[in-house]
């Protein structure tokens, strides 16, 4: 089982979804200048906006089917431990 991660900062160009509730992603750029340049191409249409975002995403890739059960068990343990206070974890000898 391996974990693969990406972490970077980018400039995202968004447009309204049409209903005024959320924004739709259009593109990511490495610089704000390029994002603004792209946004200006649409100045006669729906208003676009640019925001700085940090992308931090991880994926777990299993090598074997058996690792799925191990991963489920680890997730259950973490969920159970998160319900305990720091004092409770110390009393149980978990810290």
pLDDT one-digit tens code per residue, 19-71 = 767 889 999 999 999 999 999 988 787 788 999 999 999 999 999 999 999 99
Q: Considering only CA atoms, which of 73, 70, 94 is closest in space to residue 84?
A: 94
State the CB neighbour count (10 A cutoff) for residue 39.
20
* 3-state DSSP assignment of residue 62: coil
Sequence-distant (6+) residues with CB within 8 A of 10 are 28, 29, 30, 52, 53, 55
CA distance 85 to 57: 28
Q: State the pTM of this model.
A: 0.63
Q: What secondary structure letter does DSSP report for 48?
A: P
């Amino acid at each position: 089982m391996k974990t693969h991660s990406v972490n970077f900062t980018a400039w995202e160009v968004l447009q309204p979804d049409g209903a005024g509730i959320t924004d739709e992603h259009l593109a990511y750029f490495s610089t704000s200048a390029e994002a603004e340049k792209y946004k200006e191409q649409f100045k006669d249409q729906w208003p676009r906006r640019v925001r700085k975002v940090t992308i931090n995403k991880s994926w777990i890739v299993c090598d074997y089917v058996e690792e799925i059960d191990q991963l489920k068990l680890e997730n259950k343990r973490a969920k159970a431990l998160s319900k305990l206070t720091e004092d409770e974890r110390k009393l149980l000898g978990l810290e």
